[in-house]
């Protein structure tokens, strides 16, 4: 990075671009979450199941986020790995009312953590225990325990309960992520 660029960053003149990957099982609310992050005029009203992936952009603080919103259907989960290498953070969305599939979530998470493009990096991971409004919803603590999050020691992680329909809990999570990524970038430069 050139000296001028460094200077510019420091002064916050130009927004720094970062990539995040949004993953999780299908129907967990990933697309709805990302939609919430966008400015009001850019939001869509009609959310359809994602086929493959979709690229969305949003801002938080002085970071400009490019989110790769991946499809969570079985057929596409193997394709997440194509996007691990170059991301600065991961958003992992869980449907906290879907108790039945919590084991599947754990399986996918473990695969992700063991992947060569992920395991040796200090990538921040933000978990959303989404659909907290639902009656059957498990608490974020129960979910963290169910997924064995305490075993993740080489990466910063954070879990927030959220309701993507109202936006509740989302801001707190994304602020944590922004901070983590900024720290990471600063320590590198």
Partner 1 sequence: MSSFKRDKKEEEDGVGNIFQNIEKTTVLQEARVFNETSVNPRKCTLILTKLLYLLNQGEALNVKEATDVFFAMTKLFQSKDVVLRRMVYLGIKELSSTADDVIIVTSSLTKDMTGKEDIYRAAAIRALCSITDATMLQAIERYMKQAIVDRNSAVSSAALVSSLHMTKMAPEVVKRWVNEAQEAINSDNVMVQYHALGLLYHIRKSDRLAVTKLIAKLTRTTLKSPYAVCMLIRIIAKLLEEEDSGNDFPYFDFIESCLRHKSEMVVYEAAHAIVNLKRTTSKELAPAVSVLQLFCGSPKATLRFAAVRTLNQVAISHPAAVTACNLDLENLITDSNRSIATLAITTLLKTGAESSVDRLMKQIASFVSEISDEFKVVVVQAIRALALKFPRKHNTLMNFLSAMLRDEGGLEYKASIADTIITIIEDNPEAKESGLAHLCEFIEDCEHVSLAVRILHLLGREGPKTKQPSRYIRFIYNRVILECPSIRAAAVSAMAQFGASCPDLLENIQVLLARCQMDSDDEVRDRATYYSSILSKNDKNLYNNFILDTLQVSIPGLERSLKEYTQNSTNQPFDIKSVPLQVGPSPDEREKKHKSEGMLTSQGPLRPPPVSREENFAEKLSAIPGIQQLGPIFKSSDVVELTESETEYFVRCIKHCFAHHVVLQFDCLNTLPDQLLEDVRVELEPSEGFELLSVIPCKQLHYNETNHTYAILKFPDDDLPSCVGTFGAVLKFIVKDCDPTTGIPDSEEGYNDEYILEDLEITLGDQIQRVSKVNWGAAWETAAESSVEKEDTYSLSSMNTLDEAVKNIVQFLGLQPAERTDKVPEGKSTHTLLLSGVFRGGIDILVRAKLALADGVTMQLTVRSPDDSIAELITSSVG
Ligand X SMILES: Nc1nc2c(ncn2[C@@H]2O[C@H](COP(=O)(O)OP(=O)(O)O)[C@@H](O)[C@H]2O)c(=O)[nH]1
**Residue number, 76 or 176, with CB nearest to partner 1:** 76
Note whether 116 binds partner 1 by CB under 8 A.
no
User: C-beta of 123: minimal distance to ligand X in Å?
Assistant: 20
Q: Are 16 and 63 contacting, i.e. CB atoms less than 8 angstroms apart?
A: yes
Note whether 172 binds partner 1 by CB under 8 A.
no
- Residue span binding partner 1 (CB under 8 A) among the ranges 66-74, 142-150, 166-174, 175-183: 66-74
Residue 12 binds which entry of ligand X, Mg ion, partner 1, none, with Cβ cut-offs from 5 to 8 Å by kind? none
Hunting for tokens 């600065």 — which residue is that? Answer: 88
**Residue number, 29 or 169, with CB nearest to partner 1:** 29
Note whether 61 binds partner 1 by CB under 8 A.
no
Q: What is the side-by-side strand order in the sheet with 53-60?
A: 53-60, 63-70, 16-23, 89-95, 125-130, 157-161
Q: Rounded distance, CA 91 to CA 68, Å?
A: 10
Query: How many angstroms separate the Cα of 187 from the Cα of each of 2, 88, 141?
Result: 16, 13, 31
Q: Are 91 and 20 contacting, i.e. CB atoms less than 8 angstroms apart?
A: yes
Note whether 186 binds partner 1 by CB under 8 A.
no
CB within 8 A of 46, min separation 6: which ones? none
Hunting for tokens 């959220």 — which residue is that? Answer: 162
Contact residues toward Mg ion (CB under 5 A) are 30-31, 50
- Taking CB under 8 A as the criterion, the residue among 13, 79, 104, 186 binding partner 1 is 79
List interacting residues with partner 1 (CB under 8 A): 17-19, 50-55, 57, 66, 68, 71, 76, 79, 82-83, 85-86, 88
Q: Which residue numbers belong to the known binding site for GTP?
A: 24-31, 72, 130-133
């Amino acid at each position: 990075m050139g000296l001028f660029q460094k200077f510019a960053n420091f002064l916050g003149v130009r927004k720094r671009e970062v990539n995040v990957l949004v993953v999780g099982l299908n129907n967990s609310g990933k697309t709805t979450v990302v939609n919430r992050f966008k400015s009001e005029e850019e939001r869509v009203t009609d959310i359809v199941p994602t086929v493959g992936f979709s690229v969305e952009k949003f801002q938080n603080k002085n970071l400009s986020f490019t989110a790769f919103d991946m499809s969570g259907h079985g057929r596409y989960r193997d394709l997440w790995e194509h996007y691990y290498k170059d991301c600065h953070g991961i958003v992992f969305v869980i449907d906290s009312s879907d108790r039945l599939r919590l084991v599947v979530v754990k399986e996918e998470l473990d695969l992700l953590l063991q992947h060569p493009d992920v395991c040796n990096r200090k990538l921040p991971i933000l978990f959303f225990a989404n659909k907290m409004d639902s009656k059957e919803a498990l608490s974020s603590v129960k979910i963290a325990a169910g997924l064995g999050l305490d075993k993740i020691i080489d990466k910063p992680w954070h879990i927030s309960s959220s309701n993507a329909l109202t936006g509740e809990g989302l801001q707190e999570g994304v602020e944590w992520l922004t901070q983590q990524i900024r720290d990471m970038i600063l320590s590198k430069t």
